[in-house]
Amino acid sequence: MERLRLVREQAGVTQREVADFLNLNRTTYNKYENGASTPTPEILARIADFFHVSVDYLLEREETPTPAYSDIPNVRQIKKKKIPVLGEIACGKPIFADEQRDVYVSVTDDLVCDYALIAKGESMTPRIHDGDLVFIREMPAVENGRIAAVLIEDEATLKRVFFDAGRQQLTLTADNPAFPPFVYTGAELMSIRILGLAVAAQTRL
């Protein structure tokens, strides 16, 4: 798609940046530009959204591109940023948190977070489902009742945190009542660390 390459070059972005926005690898996106592969209608619509043009313009059905949002009165341009996806986090029994720093996802600039994790399991349903992206803001402590990423020795889990300072007891609870809470006291607390607060989740439809 020659028009796709021209639009990208005019926008001053790399193939990697567009591929990251689409959650694709650069080779796949490169095939779209070279005509070796055709994007699905859904992906084509997302590409058009990224460049603020119409699908018809990308397909060369029209010669005049849709104006950028910044050029339309009373419409605010949505700024985006990229954050790393650091592997999976358990919604159930803790699992090893495998960092995958070569994987990134685009989010709106107003979402204050440091990285994303992929939820695994059903213990946090109905709020968070298996396969959801969960966005984490790094902090060493969270308010009682908030959902946090918690490191237990070398394994990570996503749970609601309740800490009783008087009893020196930490309770990690699931939203799904079918899953029992994890309770830690005394010396057990030394092996536990709050990684950060869950600030948002993205469901994959």
Q: Is 106 in the active site?
A: no
Annotated catalytic residue, options 54, 93, 159, 191: 159
Q: Is 81 in the active site?
A: no
- Rounded CA-CA distance 95/151 in Å is 9
Annotated catalytic residue, options 54, 82, 93, 123: 123
Nearest to 154 by CA among 75, 71, 96: 96
Three-state SS annotation for the chain:
CHHHHHHHHHHCCCHHHHHHHHCCCHHHHHHHHHCCCCCCHHHHHHHHHHHCCCHHHHCCCCCCCCCCHHHCCCCCCCCEEEEEEEEEEECCCCEECCCEEEEEEEEECCCCCCEEEEEECCCCCCCCCCCCEEEEEECCCCCCCCEEEEEECCEEEEEEEEEECCCCEEEEECCCCCCCCEEEEHHHHHHEEEEEEEEEEECCC
Residues with a known catalytic role: 123, 159
